[in-house]
Amino acid sequence: MNAPRIGVLALQGDTREHLAALREAGAEPMPVRRRSELDTVDGLVIPGGESTTMSHLLLDFDMLEPLRGRLAEGMPAYGACAGMILLASEILDAGARGRQALPLRAIDMTVRRNAFGRQVDSFEGDVAFAGFDVPVRAVFIRAPWVERAGDDVRVLASAAGHAVAVRQGPMLATAFHPEVTGDRRVHQLFVDIVTGEA
């Protein structure tokens, strides 16, 4: 397969690092801001940001149902942090008032937003990752964790007793931000999923 065309949802959040990481991992990346762009990509990265804001921008730009549709058809997707939250089938958010994040229901899992607590907003650590010889440096920023993973969901990494990286078929999600570390293995894994090599 030629370099796969992989979109990075660019309504809100950190897209630049994902575009660079995907290019280094051998993909042809492009920002996705509208439905016509969504229709042209072989896979999609949903970056970190604010899952509530991103959900409502998807609604405002008439992209929520088209994106759910492409995911239901099996378009590969990788969600990091807020992106992991959006890919879930159920979102727990005890403290939320007002607008809620809307699940895309691509991965059979329940995630908890801001799960690591308010005192420890951000932290990093080395995390073992299934299939990688050397642990990944995981950067968590107001990160979620997976509270329930369905039978078809494979846990790839855990921290604090909870899954923080999962895969279900062509869907990949991490609670942490590999795009900020220079380690391209997670993006490489996603590119390989898109090309059918992983």
Q: Which residues bind ligand GLN (CB under 6 A)?
A: 48-51, 81-82, 85, 113-114, 141-142
The reply to whether 18 belongs to the active site is no
**Exactly one of 17, 18, 56, 179 is catalytic; which is it?**
179
Q: Has 81 been annotated as catalytic?
A: yes
Which of 4/13 has CB closer to ligand GLN? 13
Tell me how far, at minimum, the Cβ of 144 lies from ligand GLN, in Å: 6
Using DSSP bridges, classify how beta strands 122-127 and 107-112 pair: parallel, antiparallel or unpaired.
unpaired
| Contact between residue 41 and residue 63 where contact means Cβ atoms under 8 Å apart | no
**Least separation, in Å, of the C-beta of 113 and ligand GLN?**
4
CB-CB contact of 129 with 108 (8 Å): no
- The answer to whether residue 124 is catalytic is no
Torsion of CA 54, 72, 132, 178, to 10 degrees: -10
Which residue lies nearer to ligand GLN by CB, 4 or 171? 171
141 is in an annotated binding site: yes
Question: Smaller CB distance to ligand GLN: residue 17 or 50?
Answer: 50
Minimum separation from the CB atom of position 141 to ligand GLN (A): 4
Least spacing, CB of residue 103 vs ligand GLN, in Å? 12
Q: Which of 17, 18, 56, 81 is catalytic?
A: 81
Burial class for 53, CB neighbours closer than 10 Å (0-12, 13-18, 19+): middle
Cβ atoms within 10 Å of 190's Cβ, excluding its own: 31
Show the CA angle centred on residue 59, arms to residues 53 and 61, nearest 5°: 100
113 is known to lie in a ligand binding site:
yes
Q: From residue 27, give the alpha-carbon distance in Å to each of 12, 22, 24.
A: 21, 5, 7
Q: Which residues are catalytic?
A: 81, 177, 179
